[in-house]
Structure 1
Amino acid sequence: MNSDLLSSLHRECMNFMQVGQYEESLQILEQIRSSGFRHPAFLLDLILCCHKLRQRDRLVEYITEATLLCEHNGSQLDFLGEELQKMSLYKHALEVFRKMRSCRTDAEKAVGGAREAALHLRLSAIEDAQEALDYAESFSGSYPEVRSARAMWWMRCDPRQALPILTELAQAHPQIPFTFTAAHGHHLAHVQDQLGHYDDAFASLCRAKLLEVRHDPKIQAFQSQRTSWRAWHRDSLQFRREDACRWRNECPPSQDHAFLLGHPRSGTTLLEQVLDAHHELCSIEETNLYSLCIDAQLMAEHSSSAVTLPFSAYVHQLPENQMAIRRQNYLHHLQREQPQDPRIKVWLDKNPGLSVSVPRIAKTMPHSRLIYAQRDPRDVCISSFFQWCDRTPWSSHWLSLEDTVHQCLFTHDIWQQTKPLLEQDWMEVRYEDMIDDLESWGRKTTEFLGLEWQAQQIDHKQRAAEKVVKSPTHLAVRKDLYRHSIARWKNYEKWLQPFHDTFRPMLRDRGYES
């Protein structure tokens, strides 16, 4: 296969993958593979498609092939393991990292051991993490990756011991990727916050975020698109309650799907663990399936159509038979995310990122129940500002406290304006109320979804231990409920003071004291 044809097929494949059409992508990729082409990045595309399509045997086949192709090449094995980890294929990622023990250099062996240790910690396999960390440090304890793994260990066991290591790793160095330094600046801030060093924590965050703003080209792109991004979401509010009623009546009744929404850091992960412990409910956590299967498809159709209507008006006037195709495609992909279980009666899409998409959901998913998590917006903002994660159009707001507050207000306003227009069932749950009485609110939300409470739901820690929680808050939901996360904002009150008037309407609407 010549290079021009290969490039053309790969572009076509990527276009399919961008809109969630993995069957079509897989056909093209296997056509390329049949020509004898082999490359780790190409095999990763095959792995991703098989993972999305739940083709287990072929998934293992391609992971094995990629691992053999990268054998004894530490940098390629490291890349392969990291990519598998991003897909939440943790068992396979651990196997790849362990292969690095067969590499030639001490550096490769040390980095592989550090990667193993960090992933074991992510999975709360403490003894395995200790073994891998001891192995890595037997070659060198000075490599940044090994130092990082040791810091993560101490963050679990004794945060004070992590402090000097994180202080070192949070210092910018020309030979160290800025993302590594910024990540450890956020980790340092968390430890300083735990130890009550609030001024130091805030300063560490600001230094880390400045690195991102200076060096990450995505940030500038996201910031330049922010006004149009918000206008695009706000424009979807241009409908009436009668429209929502008509959309719901046109759509065949269904009670088997719900969304769990709310601004990030509002308690969605805690509530999801309680609900997902129910034997008749399956929660799918923070995927982009709705965006790929519905929003992206509708946007593509709108841009290629001859109509002059704005996007939201175009969506609102689409006939139900066309919308049903997109809806069924989304539900089909959603239900393929987990092994089939005949007991399942409700599929829950837990996705805080869709909280600003609620106006469109009134048209696209008019029978889906909505659970909306609320929390004191000051705590939401401080918790979001502390969060280290991949930067998206949403999380790019968390690079300054001012932008964090304004995004919180924008999300709040979207929900407040949409609620009176909705015809479908919805309920709000306050984080503070869950902390006070988790069982009571767990019962209420379970019954809201048309299910009966089951005794095992109260043990949220057990459920979190049994599954891989994708949310950045995966560690918190494995712990006992604690009240020190309530009114945490008071430790940072002097930095929030300039936004007192901005918070006032949010506090009033949610029933909090200003």
Structure 2
Amino acid sequence: MKPPNGMHGESLQIESQRQQAARLADCGEFAKSVELLRRANAKWRNDASLMSDLASAYVRLPDFKKAERCLSRLLDVHAGNAEVLKFVAELRYAMRHVHGALDAYELCASVEETTTAGWLGAAAIQERMGQLEAAAESVRKALKRDAGSERGRYLQSFLFVRMGRWGEAEQCLCDLLGSGLHDREIHWRAGHQLAAVLDRQGEHASALQVLLATKQGMEHDYAAEIKAARATFLFKSGKIRQLMEELTPRMLEGWMDGAEAGFPAAVLAGHPRSGTTLLGSIVGRHSQVSCIEETACMENQIFRSVFQKDSAEPKLFESGYLAAVTAGARQQAQRGYLNAIRQFSHEGAKSSDLIIDKNPMLTQFLAVALRFMPGLKMLMMLRDPRDVCWSCFQHPAGVAVSNVSWLSIEDTMTSYRDIMEIWLRLREMLPTGWLEVRYEELVKDTEEVSREVVDFLELPWQACTQDLQTQETTIHSPTYAEVAKPVYRSAVGRWKAYEEFLSPHMKVLESSIQSLGY
């Protein structure tokens, strides 16, 4: 939370403590940062900024139980402060405490009667939880306060999409895009969503036209961010490609010699839009599994074990450096990783559960991960490269290092080829410890493929695929809306509707199509 303006005396002392704690955390001294903030909170017991900082520090440590205790006390002291309520909601959501986040947003809506933030925050969570009617009611309340709210109007149109009310969704999105939007994020989200609605209605030419115009607008509106993200992506990809060229089967064999039997985690990876969310939602129903989605736990804990911070230095992707990593650093990474990712486990999860770390972004990182966690099993999701690339290009993703290539179809295909070449190279050198799962086979015979996966994970069979459309937990993957439906096959071969557009670039994918058996 921001400090108050015009600080004097005691306020300056508090701000000094906050800044010192932030510097400690930036240097990797997370425990010292927490201790400093804990002492400051004992001295200034009711200061909202210190209480908020301590809660955030516990999340970063990570210790979610202590973070939640801080948030509960913050609510006790500052329950009528709308800014505090929004902070509590956001931090709870970051910890995947969705019901608590929803409670805080609804309380915010009752306290702050002139703005839309509380109701729209509640609506976004309700929609993710599959409570579409409740979400629509929250949006209605927000728009009653501010009929021109761009975010509110976008959420209203998205709920029409989720409900399959295509005509209303199209009209709402067209009205929104034609109203002279000021929020650039809402602009690109609405453009992507309109293209998706037109696609679902079979208007492929119009869908492509809207999609290309939206991508072009993003290139203009986010020019500086895109330039920086592309530079970072190219540098990171180059370092990983260099590492894969340096690695040999003998090196990997030496790393795997240190593997402990029964490491209690497995990675579910693959290229984004390959079906990882679907497989994760199926396997995650097993009573001995906790499927955790889309966290940075593995990378951050590896970084901390060698660099004492949540970011990597380029030398991490050098085979010589990896070979010299000490046993102590590897053990620290493993302990830190298991502690961090278990913080995200759903209510009722057991400490003995097998962790499924579902994160397609880890595909590029697997070689490094195996150096620190050689007992890690790998589930690799595969899907027709043409369907994957079209799905990525069509997906409403913002500007980030991980998806900046999705702004053009040629870059999308090139990035796909490069990422999957990492996996193809890795599987050549690893005789065991991995299982490839094809999306097309999963949707065709869900139970048979699920049995194969459960067997690979050395778990007893359970009816994991039963009643898949019933949403038992909140899914945090970007593709959460799609797996809330029964298993369907209509996404197989969807690229063919855009074959004329894709054909001039298809040569980029030839090697991937052949190598992956498509």
Preserved CA contact (<8 Å) 1:362 1:422: no
The 1:220–1:83 alpha-carbon spacing in structure 2 relative to 1, beyond 3 Å, is: farther
What residue in structure 2 maps to residue 405 of structure 1?
413
Residue in 2 aligned with 1:11? 23
Maintained 8 Å contact 2:268/2:380: yes
Quick one: distance in 1 between partners of 2:475 and 2:360? Answer: 14
Residue 80 of structure 2 is aligned to residue 71 of structure 1:
yes
Query: Which letter does structure 1 place at the counterpart of 2:340?
Result: H
TM-score after normalising by structure 2:
0.87
Which of 116, 120, 134 is 1:114 aligned to?
120
Alpha-carbon separation, structure 2, partners of 1:43 and 1:211: 41
CA–CA distance in structure 1, aligned partners of residues 27 and 475 of structure 2? 29
Of residues 117, 122, 129, the one that matches 1:123 is: 129
Note the C-alpha offset of 1:45.
4.1
Match of 1:136 in 2: 142
Task: Report Cα offsets for 1:308-351 as digits up to 9, x if no partner.
Answer: 99733201232434322222221232233326755735221111
Cα pair distance change 1:104/1:81, threshold 3 Å: closer
Give the corresponding residue for 1:186.
192
- What do residues 26-77 of structure 1 show as CA deviations (whole Å, max 9, x unaligned)? 323323433438776665443344456454365154256269648365x775
Does the CA contact (< 8 Å) of 1:198 and 1:492 recur in 2? yes
C-alpha separation in 1, matches of 2:300 and 2:26: 13
Q: Deviations for 1:174-196, whole angstroms, at most 9, x for unmatched residues?
A: 7x221121122122222111111
Unpaired segments ≥5 residues, structure 1: none
Matched AA of 1:11: R
Aligned to 2:41: 33
Q: Could you say if the C-alpha distance between residues 325 and 269 of structure 1 is closer, same or farther in structure 2, counting changes exceeding 3 Å? A: same
SS of match in other structure, 2:379: strand
Matches within 5 A, 1:254-403: 254-295=262-303, 297-298=305-306, 311-338=318-345, 341-342=349-350, 344-403=352-411
Equivalent-residue separation in structure 2 for 1:258 and 1:265 (angstroms): 19
**Residue identity opposite 1:227 in structure 2:** L
* Distance of 2:289 and 2:316 partners within structure 1: 39
Hey, what's the Cα distance between the residues in 1 that align with 2:308 and 2:57? 21
- Listed one character per residue, the Cα deviations across residues 249-268 of structure 1 (whole Å, up to 9, x for unaligned) are 23433342211110011011
- Unpaired runs of 5+ in structure 2? 1-12
The structure-2 alpha-carbon separation of the partners of 1:345 and 1:60, relative to structure 1 and needing over 3 Å to count, comes to closer
Task: Look up the SS of the partner of 1:261 in the other structure.
Answer: strand
User: Which one-letter code corresponds to 1:13 in the other structure?
Assistant: A
Structure 1 residues 345 and 76, CA gap change in structure 2 (3 angstroms): closer
Q: Deviations over 1:257-305 (max 9, x none)?
A: 211110011011111111111111222211101110014543569x999
Q: Please point out which of 57, 71, 75 is paired with 1:62.
A: 71
From the superposition, tell whether residues 147 and 240 of structure 1 become closer, same or farther in structure 2 (CA, over 3 Å): same
Distance 1:132 1:68, change over 3 A: farther
Q: Which amino acid aligns with 1:258?
A: A
Alpha-carbon distance in 1 for matches of 2:428, 2:517: 18
Deviation, structure 1 residue 13:
2.5
- TM-score, with structure 1 as normaliser: 0.87
In 1, the alpha carbon distance for the partners of 2:294 and 2:281 equals: 13
TM superposition shift of 1:213:
3.0
After the TM superposition, which residues 93-112 of structure 1 pair with which residues of structure 2 at under 5 Å, given as runs? Answer: 93-103=101-111, 106=114, 108=115, 110-112=116-118
In the aligned structure 1, how far is the partner of 2:92 from the partner of 2:206? Answer: 35
Distance apart, 1:428 and its partner CA: 0.6
Q: Following the alignment from structure 2 to structure 1, what is the Cα–Cα distance between the partners of residues 73 and 204?
A: 47
The one of 149, 154, 158 aligned to 2:160: 154
Distance 1:147 1:10, change over 3 A: same
> Residue 170 of structure 1 corresponds to which residue in structure 2?
177
Distance 1:291 1:456, change over 3 A: closer
Given the superposition, is the C-alpha separation of residues 82 and 321 from structure 1 closer, same or farther in structure 2, using an over 3 Å criterion? closer
d(CA) in 2 for partners of 1:317, 1:148: 52
Q: Are the structure 2 counterparts of residues 221 and 322 from structure 1 closer, same or farther at C-alpha, using a change threshold of 3 Å? A: same
Counterpart pick for 1:225 among 204, 222, 232: 232
Counterpart of 2:514 in structure 1: which amino acid? R
Question: Which of 438, 442, 451 is the aligned partner of 1:434?
Answer: 442
Deviations 1:461-499 (A, max 9, x none): 23xx11111101111111112221011101111221122
- Tell me how far apart the structure 2 counterparts of residues 129 and 482 of structure 1 sit (CA, whole Å): 25
The secondary structure found in structure 1 opposite 2:423 is helix
Kindly provide the CA deviation profile for residues 362-420 of structure 1, in whole angstroms up to 9, marking residues without a partner as x.
32222211110000011101111122245431111112212111110011111111111
Larger CA deviation: 1-10 vs 145-154:
1-10
Q: Which amino acid aligns with 1:89?
A: H
Count of residue pairs the alignment pairs up:
500
Instruction: Find the aligned partners of 2:203 and 2:516 in 1 and give their Cα distance.
Output: 30
Shift in alpha-carbon separation, 1:436–1:300, aligned structure 2, 3 A: same
Distance in 1, Cα, partners of 2:287 & 2:160: 36
Cα separation, 2, equivalents of 1:190 and 1:112? 28
Q: Distance in 1 between matches of 2:315 and 2:288?
A: 45
Counterparts of 1:38 and 1:390 in 2: how far apart (Å)? Answer: 38
2-structure distance, mates of 1:304, 1:445: 32
